[in-house]
Structure 1
Amino acid sequence: MRSTNTILLPLLAGLLPTAATFAQTRPAAASSATPLTTLTVDKIMRDPAQWIGSSPSNIGWSEDSKRIYFSWNPEKARRDSLYSTTPDGRAIRKVSLADQRALPSTAGEYDQKYTRKVYEKEGDIFLLDLTSNKTRRVTRTAERETDPGFALQGKLISYTRAGNLYTWDPATGETTQRTDFRRGSKPASGPSTDKAEKFLRAQQLALFDVVRQRDQDQKARQRLQKAVARLSPKAIYLGQQTVENLQLSPDGRFVTYRLAQEPTGEKVALVPNFVTASGFTEDISTRTKVGAPQTAYELGIYDIGRDTTFVLGYKELKGLDELPAYRKEYALPAKAPMPADSAKNTAAAKKPKPATEVRRVASYGPFWSENGQRAFLVIRSADNKDRWIVSLDPSTQKISLLDRQRDESWINGPGIGYGPGNVGWLPDNKRVWFQSEETGYSHLYTVDVTSGQKQALTSGPFEVQKAQLSRDKKRWYITANKTHPGEQHFYRLPLEGGSLTQITTMPGASEVTLSPDEKTLAVRYSYTNQPWELYVMDNKPGAKARQITNSLTEEFKSYPWRDPEIVTIKARDGADVYARLYRPAKAEAQGPAVIFVHGAGYLQNAHKWWSTYFREYMFHNLLVDKGYTVLDIDYRGSAGYGQAVRTGIYRYMGGKDLTDQVDGAKLLAEKYGVSPQRIGIYGGSYGGFITLMAMFTQPDVFKAGAALRSVTDWAHYNHGYTDNILNEPYNDSIAYARSSPIYYADGLKGALLMCHGMVDTNVHFQDIVRLSQRLIELHKENWELAVFPVEDHGFVEPSSWTDEYKRILKLFETNLRPGAPAAGSSGGN
């Protein structure tokens, strides 16, 4: 649900200019630039690439560690271009299209000694020898080859083509097809078993010599074909399934693969696009809604030696039949609690019968040890409440539990995500490493596959956001927010754990890309009021960072952008909630205030680096110039603060995430001299949802609110996001009833502005249309809907941003200034 708010534009290599060099490290500003002394919506909502500047992105190194590559746009072109520089920053140049085509892909796989790299580029496979810097082309075909890797302990190159696994031998140049997956069902073979057909066949063979002879010839050909077929991979028929993640085991005996069964016949929501080149309305097919059947997965094992296939079973997996705790709530005879308004506006929640089903799972891997003797899988339950790490023996199809993480809400967090997470093997080939929120914060762990002994390598009230082993496997490199939840730094850690050694020191955030020789750091750095720039520093604690790029325009730099305070709000349940606070230099007694609610839910914004919500940041500066106090809260559900904050919205969106806003409003009134009768609220996406809940359920706290691209009913949002937090609507109707604004619309008192893009393929325009009809039927008059015909979820047109934020400013100026109309009147909206 995160808005697409970014300064940076995507790099489209095919449209890059081919100028060879860029002479200046710091582009000269136009001499006619006018200092920016007064902010207006028109000024701050201009095309950011033109008036702010485009920060460097997509940082990468050459394989010899001699050049840094990055996307940049100092010339204010329509798109970013590819640039390169030496680590000393003295030779920044634009990379020509011809040179780009010769560059190896930044993605790919290295062999164990980092002497070779295999990668895909433009649908073909290449092998790069890092010692000689010579490249060999493995394939040149019309079909696309993907998923390149090393097989048989580095002796072969493996890749996938048209759903099958192939290997290529660098020594002989021989290509071998390793699997033969086929769509559909296996054709029937052998004589018919039908009695009538068997009689007719016997009669024909008895009556006619020619028929009998030809039948014997055909059987001989079939025997020959069968003998030849033994030299080819087994034909595996998929039915309606698809196959992915094909891997050859290090000894070449097994091929493992994942089978996916897509649901069929599910209704997909259509979004009509009204403003089109054709002049006709065109429907955009988008997605199903939460609760629709999802893809089912199985792990297949092809035993090449035995020429047979197996599907891995999970019946003995610990906790597989353990259903979520919330199900017990529906099994109780007493009526489950439900908000009064939602009970009026929805059918009574049906109590499903206690479920006894075994949960479905999805496997990731296998991940093989470097010596090729051991493998493990990461297995996740379909309801996302369990993640298991298990050892795998493909010869017996047996799994053994190494670690189980159970979360009654949902599994996620830095280094964990919704897939396998950040995992691997230690160099002893006996221990698996992974990240887990076992203690409430994502930390780094190891587990011994022989003894089951688990060890925590990091600990404390902070998050390990990224972790990687050094190439010599003697240490870890870690990004963490150890010094402050709102800062990100780069650390070094001994292989067996211990003290973290901090390497970066600049306050804010440092996104580090380590050079291949691990001697130098390319650092994408920013601070609260300073957009991202490229720096370079030695890989040593206390080393000085050298700034390479200077991307900002003189006009942007001429305004004194504020460095907001990071404050904590003591929530009603005792939790410390972090927030950004913007205050006027001379605050008006009992003045107005605005609370901003970031989107995405799981996102951090009360931090010390340049925000993805940079337009909102500039708007907050404008509001402060006009005398407003602004509070930007990392409410419950936000990233950066551990598991308890991340899952604080489980089964009740509009619960703690909303009371955090209310507690923030209380702090503004009690500590910062804000009038409790002059507080507004606004936000987009999830922030729009919270704004609606605030205006509907806390009408005496918030006098005006702007809800942008808002979810109004969670039963109409997507499955991947919503099911984690609220479960399925047919299993947990209570959670949906108390979390959806549409059930509480009768509580509206203050002035409400709603803005929505009409071609929003994320939160569909239907959402806001349904709520509008509800407000009409409730005879509410103090609301306004502004529609944007050409915008998706994240607005892209400066004209749209400008129109939207002029309306937001008008809403607050009209309703939060002295003499504003009383709640319940139209207020000029």
Structure 2
Amino acid sequence: MKRLNLILILTVLLSFQVVGQELTVEKIMQDPKWMGHFPSNIKWDDKGEIIYFDYNPEGNPSDSLYKIHIKNPSKIEKVGLQEKKSFIPSNAAVNKNKNLKLYASNGDLILYDAVKGSKNTLISFGERISNPQFLANEKNVSFVSGNNIFLYELETGKLKRLTRIQAGNKPEDKEPKIEEREKWLKEDNLSLLQIINEREEKKAQAKEYNSAIADKDPYVFYYGNKQLGNLQLAPNANFVTFSLTTRADYKRTNVPDYTDASGYTVDLPSRSKVGDQPTKIELAIYDLHRDTVYFINSLSLPGIKDLPDYVKDYPEKKWEEKNRDVIISSPIFSPDGNHAIVNVRSTDNKDRWIALLDMKTGDLKNLDRQRDEAWIAGPGIGWSMGGGTLGWLPDNKHIYFQSEASGYSHLYILDVTNGQKKQLTKGNFEVFDPKISNNGKYWYLTTSEIHPGERHFYMMPLMGGKMEKLTSMTGNNTVFLSPDEKNMAILYSYSNKPWELYLQENLPSSAPKQLTDGQSEAFKSYAWRDPYMIDFKAADGAMVPARLYVPELAKKNGAAVIFVHGAGYLQNVHKWWSSYFREYMFHNLLTDLGYTVLDIDYRGSAGYGRDWRTGIYRHMGGKDLSDQVDGAKYLVENHGVDPGKIGIYGGSYGGFITLMGLFTAPEIFKSGAALRSVTDWAHYNHGYTSNILNEPFNDPIAYRRSSPIYFAEGLKGNLLIAHGMVDVNVHFQDVVRLAQRLIELGKDNWEMAVYPVEDHGFIEPSSWTDEYKRILKLFNDTLIDD
């Protein structure tokens, strides 16, 4: 009997080993098509009867368009070429009743009647047409061609050019150049001969009279060598707005491609570095009645001269109090066209204003100011040129927007007539993609109210009130409402289940029905883990979210690996299928081998509000790194991990943290793999880096304490550096400079793997495989006892 029990135990242990052997680096890093085919790019037809999506059940080199008719949801059909050609562009302008769509195609302006299903070519212009729009009265439409605005009358078919905007400088009226000698002779002659002098005077008078009575040349605005963009006509057809961009001529890094098909080394043009002179963007108004152009002035905005708090760290430097540069978005007009608002961002990233724009004067009246001594961002906040959540309610007097004023990104409305602001959503959660219903009575919005790692779809009264949850599946529910708002196409996934398409009635009590099932048999054959969602306590008392992978007790080897996601502002501790799916599968492999794996949403990650987002301000490698250290301590104290057997790895920002970990916390991390890593933030781009660290010449303290290259002497453990040689995001130069630093320091416990054909995000399965075989070998060789 005892022998039988021993046999059973051995059989179980062997079965665990077989499961562990099912996953290999070669298998999980091959072309992702081995996993199956999963839907993406969901859209509805105009009648709300057909769901279209990209799909690839045939295993072709790329996805094709497929469709499902909701009356026959079990049938998935491939869309033919003729049907594709009949599609109306998704960016077509829509009238108020949503029965007409306006779009341009190959120089034609086309009006589509959604009720009749008919198309009418309004005009064949011959030139490229863009930005077609219905005006407020919906009797006229406008479009852009050749950097000018045209108006088309729907009833009469008349076409009128409204603007004359031209590149270059205004030609100067040039008088014939007269030499000083000739000028003297003429004046001397006229002083001697009275008749000739009188004739000359009469000529001048006639010229002046003819000029006064002649038709004036049409007004032309010349924009020099600037770049013109965002040209739009106000709904009342009285004003045109456009942006003018002045691009600084700064030095850019070239990235050499040693494997170009030509056989020659080819330089790939890339970006400049942080601190280079930022681009200047101005917003102009073209008054069509007064035939004049003027620029919007931001000097009246409150706090326009405010200095950032960090200047106190540089008392020796004289800081000039001056009007800060701003970027002003294109105006957003009220439905009746009588009012306009703009989003204004300071180029130092500290302020966002929403202002009412007086179209007649270009003056701004502040409606809302959001100040952050770190940097303005968050869901729905938008970036410098607008974007995000900002618009008008149907009543023409309330605007809506999102703000992190409460600490989390929430939805607000504001009455522009009296400045009264109301917060519509509240709580320790974030709001995503709010949209007003067709009837103008409700909001549809996605939130993380249930859990930071879940996304659900809600409806809420327009002026605020109770939110009603419409989705029920645990995970991420990305909802695409049908045009009639009767049904929801839901792209859904869970932690260990990739994205699939579901259909549900737009009712809270309705059950979703799965429409696709794309997992391959090979993918299904493995029992993918559902990681534990945990929170551990950091040294400063914060509760840090993480995903934990725990091996079977019989396989446990006492070693641990901590994964650091990239991008900085990104969430990976959640209950849906990760964009880091390769890493997720690798973590399953590691767990099969007996490793305990921890995946942390460290300070700076998305999904947890303003303070978490800005926790890395002026010190990358501060709390974001200490969260990894505290995570390692948590594993030692709670999961039997040997403190001398902890590894760390990650790519991009994760590679940066890996370097900082090995350089500044060598007593915690024995080994690490730093992939496509930033090694010196002064060499990264402006848009991302200046948000967090300001500019290197203004805030050198922030850069010095945040860049791994300054701490390379601290390396004691085992380091693998891996980098693509044609990386135009984090340049290969970064790790070349670090390598030289390590050589000069006499370090010999590191190695570098380079990938000649890879950019920042690897493409080739062979590169992925090689990289992760090296990572696995590093951990197996250095963290596991022989």
Interval of TM-score (by shorter of Structure 1 and Structure 2): over 0.9
Contact between 2:105 and 2:129, CA under 8 Å: does it hold in 1? no
Deviations 1:358-381 (A, max 9, x none): 111111131111122211111111
**TM-score where L is the length of structure 1:** 0.88
- In structure 2, the residue matched to 1:349 is none
- In structure 2, the residue matched to 1:9 is none
CA distance in 2, matches of 1:798, 1:664: 31
Q: How far has the Cα of 1:93 moved from its partner?
A: 1.2
Q: Which moved more, 1:363-372 or 1:720-729?
A: 363-372
Q: Could you say what secondary structure the match of 1:586 adopts?
A: coil
- In structure 1, the residue matched to 2:331 is 366
- In structure 2, the residue matched to 1:656 is 623
**Residue 644 of structure 2 corresponds to residue 644 of structure 1:** no
Q: How far has the Cα of 1:149 moved from its partner?
A: 1.5
Q: Which moved more, 1:611-620 or 1:306-315?
A: 306-315
Q: How far has the Cα of 1:397 moved from its partner?
A: 2.4
Alignment of 1:160-179 (within 5 A): 160-179=144-163
- In structure 2, the residue matched to 1:227 is 215
Q: How far has the Cα of 1:317 moved from its partner?
A: 0.8
What amino acid is the match of 1:382? T
CA 687–200 in structure 1, closer or farther in 2 if over 3 Å, else same: farther
Contact between 1:590 and 1:673, CA under 8 Å: does it hold in 2? no
Q: How far has the Cα of 1:353 moved from its partner?
A: 2.2
Q: Provide structure 1 residue ranges, at least 5 long, that are not aligned to the other structure.
A: 1-33, 334-351, 820-829
Alignment of 1:535-684 (within 5 A): 535-586=502-553, 591-684=558-651
Q: Which moved more, 1:144-153 or 1:568-577?
A: 144-153
**Residue 778 of structure 2 corresponds to residue 790 of structure 1:** no
CA distance in 1, matches of 2:19, 2:558: 29
CA 121–563 in structure 1, closer or farther in 2 if over 3 Å, else same: farther
CA 308–141 in structure 1, closer or farther in 2 if over 3 Å, else same: closer
Alignment of 1:798-813 (within 5 A): 798-813=765-780
Larger gyration radius, structure 1 or structure 2: 2
Instruction: From 680, 693, 699, give the equivalent of 2:660.
Output: 693
CA 812–771 in structure 1, closer or farther in 2 if over 3 Å, else same: same
What amino acid is the match of 1:404? R
Q: How far has the Cα of 1:143 moved from its partner?
A: 3.8
CA 623–478 in structure 1, closer or farther in 2 if over 3 Å, else same: same
CA distance in 2, matches of 1:139, 1:728: 51
CA distance in 2, matches of 1:777, 1:481: 49
Contact between 1:153 and 1:372, CA under 8 Å: does it hold in 2? no
Q: Which moved more, 1:101-110 or 1:123-132?
A: 123-132
Q: Which moved more, 1:616-625 or 1:583-592?
A: 583-592
Instruction: From 271, 280, 297, give the equivalent of 1:287.
Output: 271
What amino acid is the match of 1:487? E
**Residue 221 of structure 2 corresponds to residue 256 of structure 1:** no
CA distance in 2, matches of 1:122, 1:811: 56
CA distance in 2, matches of 1:760, 1:535: 38
- In structure 1, the residue matched to 2:143 is 159
What amino acid is the match of 1:227? D
CA distance in 2, matches of 1:457, 1:679: 46
Q: Which moved more, 1:198-207 or 1:296-305?
A: 198-207
- Structure 1 runs of 4+ aligned residues shifted over 3 Å read 34-37, 120-125, 138-143, 190-224, 587-590
**Residue 425 of structure 2 corresponds to residue 458 of structure 1:** yes
Contact between 1:36 and 1:556, CA under 8 Å: does it hold in 2? no
Contact between 1:273 and 1:759, CA under 8 Å: does it hold in 2? yes
CA 210–94 in structure 1, closer or farther in 2 if over 3 Å, else same: farther
Contact between 2:557 and 2:784, CA under 8 Å: does it hold in 1? no
Contact between 1:592 and 1:674, CA under 8 Å: does it hold in 2? yes
Q: How far has the Cα of 1:194 moved from its partner?
A: 7.8
CA 35–326 in structure 1, closer or farther in 2 if over 3 Å, else same: closer
**Residue 82 of structure 2 corresponds to residue 75 of structure 1:** no
| Identical residues among aligned pairs (%) | 52
Alignment of 1:49-88 (within 5 A): 49=33, 51-88=34-71
Q: How far has the Cα of 1:357 moved from its partner?
A: 2.4
**Residue 304 of structure 2 corresponds to residue 320 of structure 1:** yes
Alignment of 1:299-338 (within 5 A): 299-331=283-315
Question: Aligned-residue CA RMSD in angstroms?
Answer: 2.4
Contact between 1:528 and 1:563, CA under 8 Å: does it hold in 2? yes
Q: Could you say what secondary structure the match of 2:23 adopts?
A: coil
CA 497–214 in structure 1, closer or farther in 2 if over 3 Å, else same: same
What amino acid is the match of 2:757? V
Deviations 1:18-66 (A, max 9, x none): xxxxxxxxxxxxxxxx9996100011111012x1123111100111111
CA distance in 2, matches of 1:276, 1:645: 43
Contact between 2:134 and 2:140, CA under 8 Å: does it hold in 1? yes
CA distance in 2, matches of 1:493, 1:734: 47
CA distance in 2, matches of 1:414, 1:124: 37
Deviations 1:84-116 (A, max 9, x none): 111241332111122211111122221122121
What amino acid is the match of 2:697? Y
Instruction: From 660, 669, 677, give the equivalent of 1:702.
Output: 669
Instruction: From 107, 117, 122, give the equivalent of 2:91.
Output: 107
- In structure 1, the residue matched to 2:361 is 396
- In structure 2, the residue matched to 1:31 is none
Q: How far has the Cα of 1:297 moved from its partner?
A: 1.4
- In structure 1, the residue matched to 2:480 is 513
Q: How far has the Cα of 1:136 moved from its partner?
A: 2.2
CA distance in 2, matches of 1:745, 1:636: 23
Deviations 1:115-168 (A, max 9, x none): 212234456543212222222234545543222221243222222222222222
Deviations 1:166-213 (A, max 9, x none): 222222222222221111211112747989487788899997999999
Contact between 1:696 and 1:744, CA under 8 Å: does it hold in 2? yes
CA distance in 2, matches of 1:508, 1:595: 23
CA 752–804 in structure 1, closer or farther in 2 if over 3 Å, else same: same
- In structure 1, the residue matched to 2:172 is 188
Q: Which moved more, 1:179-188 or 1:531-540?
A: 179-188
CA distance in 2, matches of 1:147, 1:155: 17
Instruction: From 210, 227, 234, give the equivalent of 1:242.
Output: 227
Q: Could you say what secondary structure the match of 1:674 adopts?
A: coil
- In structure 2, the residue matched to 1:91 is 75
CA distance in 1, matches of 2:587, 2:377: 31
What amino acid is the match of 1:643? R
Deviations 1:528-569 (A, max 9, x none): 000001111000002111111111111111100000000001
Q: Structure with the greater relative contact order (CA < 8 A, sep ≥ 6): 1 or 2?
A: 1
Q: Which moved more, 1:540-549 or 1:108-117?
A: 108-117
What amino acid is the match of 1:528? S
CA distance in 1, matches of 2:221, 2:395: 36
CA distance in 2, matches of 1:748, 1:442: 40
- In structure 2, the residue matched to 1:148 is 132
CA distance in 2, matches of 1:381, 1:365: 15
Q: Provide structure 2 residue ranges, at least 5 long, that are not aligned to the other structure.
A: 1-17
**Residue 455 of structure 2 corresponds to residue 474 of structure 1:** no
Deviations 1:575-634 (A, max 9, x none): 111111001122666700000000000000010000000000000000000000000000
